[in-house]
């Protein structure tokens, strides 16, 4: 149990990649704060962890709402007893070519992929500072971990993803900055940039695009099936990643073996660039 006695927040963990991250960390001993925009999904993952003998609570709601970042950090501290790991995973896509891209799209993508993680980390940072003062006086500061989720669209760009790419690059800037700012507190801050991971956002379709509903609005997601071979050929490992692959990459930055790695962005894409 490499994460025994650790307490983690995983945003957007009611399904997909976030769910597998929460299950992975819990399986290694961490107590997890599960979060999702859809309460029933967050509750289900927390219940799944509890039924497997782990520790979890759900703190569901909209990360972009004023005050929610403080609420989720307080949930970890007050209900589980502290905070050691923050995984900023929540997000979704809302794509269109730039000539059709609205201010609303831009704001939505920046809010969830940059502003919400910033707020969570600001709230966590205030708690960390107070804890580290006491720990330094006691002579032992544990290594805490932040893992921010980016995308190869943030690293390399992606057609029709101007605001999504901007948000995912912003989180890399946040990562690099906090790695330097928080190093003295023995906090590592890293990012994982995902490539093509098989989720509801990347599903294949034949006729009409699939949709997801976020805050009452339907967003088109996925790729036409005719592009499947083309996309697979662009991946050196010649397979689409799954949510367990994605969770494994995040886990690497949460375990003690990565205590001397900070300010890095790991691309988890099967070699695709």
Tens-digit pLDDT profile for residues 252-266: 999 999 999 999 999
pTM of the model: 0.92
Separation of alpha carbons 205 and 128, rounded Å: 45
- The set of catalytic residues is 164
Query: What token pair was written down for 98?
Result: 């730039």
Q: List, for residues 24-35, the tens digit of each pLDDT value.
A: 999 999 999 999
pLDDT at 220: 74
Dump the DSSP string for 180-217.
HHHGGGTEEEEEEEE-SB-STTS-EESSSPEEEEETTE
* 9 conformational bin, left if phi > 0, alpha if psi -120 to 50, beta if neither: beta
Kindly indicate the confidence band of residue 206, based on its pLDDT and cuts at 50, 70 and 90: low
In the Cβ-directed half-sphere of 103, how many Cα atoms lie within 13 Å? 0
Of residues 198 and 250, more confidently modeled: 250
List all residues 6 or more positions away from 122 whose beta carbon is below 8 Å from its beta carbon: 69
Residue 207: pLDDT band (50, 70, 90) is: low
Residue 203 has pLDDT above 90, yes or no: no
pLDDT of residue 217: 77
Are 199 and 12 within 8 A, CB to CB?
no
CB atoms under 10 Å from CB of 128, counted, come to 23
Structure confidence at residue 212 (pLDDT): 72
Of the CA atoms within 13 Å of residue 125, those in its CB half-sphere come to 14
Which pLDDT tens digit goes with each residue over 80-139? 999 999 999 999 999 899 999 999 999 999 999 999 999 999 999 999 999 999 999 999
Do residues 84 and 145 make contact, with C-beta atoms less than 8 angstroms apart? yes
What element of type H or E holds 243?
A: helix 243-252
Q: State the pLDDT at residue 184.
A: 97
What percent of the chain has a predicted confidence (pLDDT) above 90?
Answer: 82
Joined together, the tokens standing for residue 175 give 């990562």
What would the DSSP string read from start to end of 54-91?
Answer: -EEEE--S-TTSTTHHHHHHHHIIIIIS---EEEE---
In this prediction, residues 47-66 reach a mean pLDDT of: 98
> Whole-number mean pLDDT of the chain?
94
Domains of the chain: 7-268 (3.40.50.720)
Using CA atoms, how far apart are residues 7 and 246, in angstroms rounded to an integer? Answer: 20
Q: Going by C-beta distance under 8 Å and a sequence separation of 6 or more, which residues neighbour residue 76? A: 7, 8, 9, 33, 59, 82, 83
Pairwise pLDDT comparison (213 vs 115), residue with the higher score = 115
């Amino acid at each position: 149990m490499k994460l025994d006695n650790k307490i983690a927040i995983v945003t957007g963990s009611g399904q997909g990649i976030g769910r597998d991250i929460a299950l992975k960390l819990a399986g290694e001993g961490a107590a997890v704060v599960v979060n999702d925009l859809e309460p029933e999904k967050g509750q289900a993952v927390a219940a799944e962890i509890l039924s497997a003998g782990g520790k979890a609570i759900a703190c569901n709601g909209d990360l972009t709402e004023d005050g929610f970042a403080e609420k989720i950090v307080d949930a970890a501290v007050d209900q589980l007893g502290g905070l050691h790991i923050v995984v900023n995973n929540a997000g979704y896509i809302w794509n269109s070519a730039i000539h059709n891209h609205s201010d609303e799209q831009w704001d939505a993508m920046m809010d969830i992929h940059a502003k919400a993680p910033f707020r969570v980390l600001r709230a966590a940072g205030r708690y960390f500072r107070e804890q580290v003062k006491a720990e330094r006086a006691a002579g032992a500061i544990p290594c805490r971990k932040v893992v921010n989720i980016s995308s190869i669209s943030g690293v390399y760009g992606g057609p029709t993803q101007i605001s999504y790419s901007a948000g995912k690059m912003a989180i890399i800037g946040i990562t690099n900055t906090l790695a330097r700012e928080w190093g003295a507190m023995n906090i590592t801050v890293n990012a994982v940039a995902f490539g093509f991971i098989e989720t509801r956002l990347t599903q294949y379709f034949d006729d009409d695009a699939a949709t997801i509903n976020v805050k009452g609005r339907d967003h088109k997601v996925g790729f036409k099936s005719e592009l499947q071979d083309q996309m697979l050929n662009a991946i050196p490992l010649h397979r689409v990643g799954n949510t367990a692959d994605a969770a494994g990459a995040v886990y690497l930055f949460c375990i003690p073996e990565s205590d001397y790695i900070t300010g890095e962005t790991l691309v988890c894409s099967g070699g695709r660039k």
